[in-house]
Amino acid sequence: MALKLTVIGTGYLGATHAAAMAELGFEVLGLDIDPAKIETLSAGRVPMYEPGLEDLLRRHVAGLPDSSGRLRFTTSWEEVAAFGDIHFVCVNTPQKHGEYACDMSYVDSAFELLAPHLKQPALVVGKSTVPVGSAARLAARLAELAPAGDRAELAWNPEFLREGFAVEDTLHPDRIVVGVASEHAEKLLREVYATPVGEGTPFVVADYPTAELVKTAANAFLATKISFINAMAEVSEAAGGDVVKLAEAIGHDERIGKKFLRAGIGFGGGCLPKDIRAFMARAGELGADQALTFLREVDSINMRRRAHMVELAREACGGSGFLGKRIAVLGAAFKPDSDDVRDSPALNVAGQIHLQGGQVTVYDPKAMENARRLFPTLGYAASALEAVRGADVVLHLTEWQEFRELDPAELGAVARGRHVIDGRNALVPQGWREAGWTFRAMGRPHA
């Protein structure tokens, strides 16, 4: 009989995982502690913006016209426990307030709420990003709390999806990593992922700590790569070089590669910043803190980018401050094709300028609502053109396609000052300069 799956925590990761598992042919039941989210998902609507996800959801949510009916949502733990052979835990693991460490309270609470209902054999699969050592601890807790005892088993299956490509990445992942304690658990997970594995996705089997570390190591590497090129941007700026040319040239070396070498205002979002900090904190607890002190530098290079962008904006305003100046901010999401504003560099820069007296107007194609909730005192406009109207300086802070297609001449006609700063090195300087703008970008000469 086909396996029945549940997904606990239906945010960016969980909602995508649930819909993708239904697409792969499984019966899926999703649970969240947020009843509003469950109501939205049950109606076939996605509570966030993720390309392709709403279509996928509508294809499977029970009760919708022409749907497969394989996907349902609930807030009942009893129902979830009775339904599932495999339970994927996808809840959030934010940074603790005032500390670098990971806040495990959501994961812990999900286990405490689920386990007492597990009367039949079940595999609980953690997908959240957690500090190494969590799986071993949770496996013991699960066996202790579940009426099924040690027939309630744990596996860890870290997730590598990228927001903006979440559906594609979940249906066709570049690798699947599982940390297991038995052949039985491995067999079940091979069954779940038979389709992508059949298409050639590598399936890496490891123990718990290795599987947990794979995720944090991957994010630490990516963060390091971004901060590396941003450090090169700092040096290029000081030396009068061009970091875009530099990145292109070093990227031809296959050992370096071209990806993740775009200098700019750095990384943000709900993953990289908190994951590298949690990794450092955990290494400290393990007595291996020296191994990761370089991540502190990676983090501070990254945060310096935001401050540097504020300084560039101040210079463009004439150098004496932001009072009485209007600044248009293009972009609020932490990356394009997402409405996620968690630790968004764009909003961070907008907020800093606002706090220093600038009149900031933000426009983002998808993240307006989330941005407004987080920074209600910023100004918001309904289009890029409206944001730029009357502005002294324009900052390009999230590299949406829409911004690359803007007409500099049209914007120039409504702006008060023609100064643009590209915080993502994604605009074509020539077109802006030809339309009479002064164009600055991070790590590039400012002709």
Which residues lie near ligand NAD (CB under 6 A)? Answer: 8-14, 31-34, 37, 90-93, 106, 109-110, 113, 128-129, 159, 161, 163, 270-271
Number of H helices, E strands in the chain: 19, 14
Q: In what order do the strands lie in the sheet with 4-8?
A: 71-74, 27-31, 4-8, 86-89, 122-126, 152-156, 176-179, 203-206
Tell me the three state secondary structure of residue 144: helix
Instruction: Tell me how far, at minimum, the Cβ of 359 lies from ligand NAD, in Å.
Output: 32
What's phi and psi for 98, nearest 5 deg?
A: 75, 10
Q: Which is nearer to ligand NAD, 146 or 441 (CB)?
A: 146
- Matching residue, tokens 């297991």: 180
Q: Which is nearer to ligand NAD, 93 or 230 (CB)?
A: 93
Residue 90 is a catalytic residue: no
Task: Give me the catalytic one of 90, 102, 271, 317.
Answer: 271
Instruction: Tell me how far, at minimum, the Cβ of 274 lies from ligand NAD, in Å.
Output: 7
The contacts found for 409-414 with CB under 8 angstroms, 24 or more apart, are 409/435, 410/385, 411/384, 411/385, 411/435, 412/436, 412/437, 414/385, 414/388, 414/389, 414/390
The radius of gyration of the chain's CA atoms, rounded to the nearest angstrom, is 23
Q: Which is nearer to ligand NAD, 93 or 227 (CB)?
A: 93
Q: Which is nearer to ligand NAD, 177 or 233 (CB)?
A: 177
Tell me the three state secondary structure of residue 127: coil
Instruction: Tell me how far, at minimum, the Cβ of 105 lies from ligand NAD, in Å.
Output: 8
The token pair that represents 134 in the structure block: 């969590």
Q: Which is nearer to ligand NAD, 34 or 289 (CB)?
A: 34
Q: Which is nearer to ligand NAD, 13 or 298 (CB)?
A: 13
Q: What is the DSSP letter of 205?
A: E
Q: Which is nearer to ligand NAD, 109 or 195 (CB)?
A: 109
**How far is Cα 391 from Cα 378, in angstroms, rounded to an integer?**
14
What's phi and psi for 265, nearest 5 deg?
A: -85, 10
Tell me the three state secondary structure of residue 122: strand
Residues 6 or more apart whose CB falls under 8 angstroms from that of 216 comprise: 129, 131, 132, 275, 276, 278, 279, 282
Contact, 194 vs 216, CB < 8 A?
no
User: Which helix H or strand E contains 20, and what residues bound it?
Assistant: helix 12-23
**How far is Cα 143 from Cα 368, in angstroms, rounded to an integer?**
44
Q: Which is nearer to ligand NAD, 216 or 230 (CB)?
A: 216
**How far is Cα 202 from Cα 10, in angstroms, rounded to an integer?**
26
Instruction: Tell me how far, at minimum, the Cβ of 243 lies from ligand NAD, in Å.
Output: 27
CA 243 to the chain's CA centroid: 25
**How far is Cα 292 from Cα 314, in angstroms, rounded to an integer?**
35
Instruction: Tell me how far, at minimum, the Cβ of 92 lies from ligand NAD, in Å.
Output: 4
Which residue of the chain is nearest ligand NAD when measured via CB?
A: 11
Instruction: Tell me how far, at minimum, the Cβ of 24 lies from ligand NAD, in Å.
Output: 19
Instruction: Tell me how far, at minimum, the Cβ of 378 lies from ligand NAD, in Å.
Output: 23
Tell me the three state secondary structure of residue 379: strand
Instruction: Tell me how far, at minimum, the Cβ of 248 lies from ligand NAD, in Å.
Output: 28
Just list the catalytic residues.
271
